[in-house]
């Protein structure tokens, strides 16, 4: 199997992301996982096609390995795994940019929906090509 196309972007941990223990709240990690998936999708899909599809989360699995602190710059990296039927497996890593320390790993099952009917639709060749970065 070929190496999966990986998409990354940077984010900065805000003071408002902190919990009572002084590190980023677990819910923020989940938000970052969803944010990088959305950023990836918007980066690869032609503008005229964005309204033709909607992704929703079916399941998140996340491991918290290290704390993120206010002011930390994080690199969020995501890539797609198996695609089957209407489902798409996506992996995400959150690393501290300064030292490369892995803070969190996540696996998310996404389901592709038709935006009008809101019913699942098969991940077609066009979508697969975008996700695998094949023109």
**pLDDT at residue number 1:** 38
**What are 82-128's pLDDT values in tens digits?**
999 999 999 999 999 999 999 999 999 999 999 999 999 999 999 99
56 falls within a domain? yes
* DSSP class of 66: S
Number of folded domains that form the chain: 1
Q: Show the tokens assigned to 27.
A: 């819910």
Q: Show the tokens assigned to 28.
A: 């923020």
Model pTM score? 0.92
Beta bridge mates, 11: 74
The answer to whether the beta carbons of residues 59 and 110 sit under 8 Å apart is: no
81 falls within a domain? yes
The answer on pLDDT for 135 being more than 70 is: no
With residue 36 as reference, give the H or E element that holds it. Answer: helix 26-44
**pLDDT at residue number 20:** 95
1 falls within a domain? no
**pLDDT at residue number 133:** 81
Which CATH number do you get for residue 16?
3.10.129.10
**pLDDT at residue number 5:** 87
120 falls within a domain? yes
69 falls within a domain? yes
The answer on pLDDT for 41 being more than 50 is: yes
Q: Containing domain of residue 122, as a range?
A: 6-131
């Amino acid at each position: 199997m070929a190496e999966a196309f990986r998409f990354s972007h940077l984010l900065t941990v805000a003071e408002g992301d902190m919990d009572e223990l002084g590190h980023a709240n677990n819910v923020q990690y989940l938000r970052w996982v969803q944010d990088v998936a959305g950023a990836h999708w918007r980066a690869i899909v032609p503008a005229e096609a964005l309204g033709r599809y909607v992704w929703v989360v079916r399941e998140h699995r996340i491991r918290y390995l290290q704390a993120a602190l206010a002011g930390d710059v994080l690199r969020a990296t995501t890539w797609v795994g198996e695609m089957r039927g209407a489902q798409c497996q996506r992996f995400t890593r959150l690393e501290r940019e300064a030292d490369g320390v892995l803070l969190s790993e996540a696996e998310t099952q996404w389901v592709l929906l038709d935006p009008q009917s809101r019913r699942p639709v098969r991940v077609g060749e066009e979508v697969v090509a975008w996700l695998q970065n094949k023109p």
